[in-house]
Amino acid sequence: MPQLTVGIAVAKAAQLLQDAGVPAEQAEVTARCIVASDRWGIGSHGLMRLPFYLSRLKAGGINPTAQLKTVTDLPSLVVFDGDDGLGHWQLQKAAEIASERALINGVAAVGVGRSNHCGALGIYVWPMINRGLVGIAFSTGPAVMPPWGGNKPLLSTSPIAAGIPTNPPTVVDLATSAVARGKIQAKAQAGAELEPGWAFTKDGAPTTDAKEALAGMLAPLGGVKGYAVAVLVESLTGMLIGPTLAKNIPDMFAASQDALPQQISHFVIAIDAAKLSVDGNTGRTAEFASEVTAAGGRLPGSNRVNPEKLNLDDEITITDQVFGQLGF
């Protein structure tokens, strides 16, 4: 499969986004967030997605010149209307604002509604980590998961991410479905089968066919417990921030829906870790990290490079299909 440097990939992605009408600064931030996923080895959320974003920009489903419009502005809570813009730069900005305010107030939360897909959610806890803060992020998307015991998709993959400023940083980044939907799309493009237990057909029958899964439903991670966490994520995004529940969010992988705004919502929380301690001891994170290493383990996400400090000379690997689609 083709390999290229991070710098070349970011420059190409940014130029394609600018050609689609996205302002240079927003295109650059979005491109770096996209390529960071590939650098992490999560190709399902990286450049593989860019052709879909470009199609939606061209069709009108994404507003290339969107601006964040303030809905609520309190010392520790900000809510923006995303104006149907790209989710990457909007959630990055939300994380930066939450971080700035948490350093002043101890805790801050920022919501963005009427936005779009943001890629790998774990990217957006790094603005907090890099400032010594705890970061938590939630997002929603098209309904692909039924309620426990149900037969109709009402929940998205309902991803959640968290970052803890340990050394190295801890990054929890997961879908509450058995697998992220982008991985289903990647399997479909590759003509590969799914793992048993990942997905169902639209009629509720188990399937290992990726194309059937895209038209069907995903299983929750960990059964009823994963379903419960998914409800929490959906509550903090689509239900409370809005304006759209997962069941009404268009599918970015369906070309027939490219002109329809997704109106996805995101939510980030930043907490000043230094102000949490009851005894002033801020060394327990380092102690725990050392214990994990001594026990032969590693902290979740500790092998991921800092997306705000990408080495442009590092290399990423993409598929032949993505390489051709983007004109490298």
Question: How far is it, in rounded angstroms, from Cα 147 to Cα 228?
Answer: 9
Q: Which residue bears the tokens 């990290």?
A: 289
Average pLDDT taken over every residue of the chain: 94
Same fold, 3-177+220-277+302-326 and 178-219: no
Integer Cα distance of 152 and 217 in angstroms: 8
| Average pLDDT over every residue of 84-90 | 98
Question: For 105-126, what is the mean pLDDT?
Answer: 98
Cα-Cα-Cα-Cα dihedral of 48, 265, 231, 186, to 10°? Answer: -10
CATH of domain 178-219: 3.30.60.50
Domain ranges of the chain: 3-177+220-277+302-326, 178-219
Q: Does residue 148 register a pLDDT over 90?
A: no
150 or 232, higher pLDDT: 232
How many other β-carbons are positioned within 10 Å of the β-carbon of residue 124?
31
pLDDT at res. 177:
86
Regarding the domain delimited by 3-177+220-277+302-326, which CATH topology (the fold level of the hierarchy) does it fall under?
Ribosomal Protein S8; Chain: A, domain 1 (3.30.1370)
324 touches 193 (CB < 8 A): no
Q: With 90 as the cut, is the pLDDT of residue 149 above it?
A: no
- Residue 62: φ, ψ to 5°: -120, 135
| pTM of the model as a whole | 0.92
- For 148, 216, 221, 247, the CA distances from 152, given in Å and listed in that order, are 10, 9, 17, 9
Half-sphere exposure of residue 62, counting CA atoms within 13 Å on the CB side? 27
What 287-293 contacts at long range (C-beta under 8 Å, 24+ apart), as own/partner pairs, is 288/166, 289/166, 289/167, 289/168, 289/170
Partners of 112 in the β-ladder: 80, 266
Tens-digit pLDDT profile for residues 179-217: 888 788 888 888 899 988 888 888 888 899 998 888 888
**Residue 261: what pLDDT?**
97
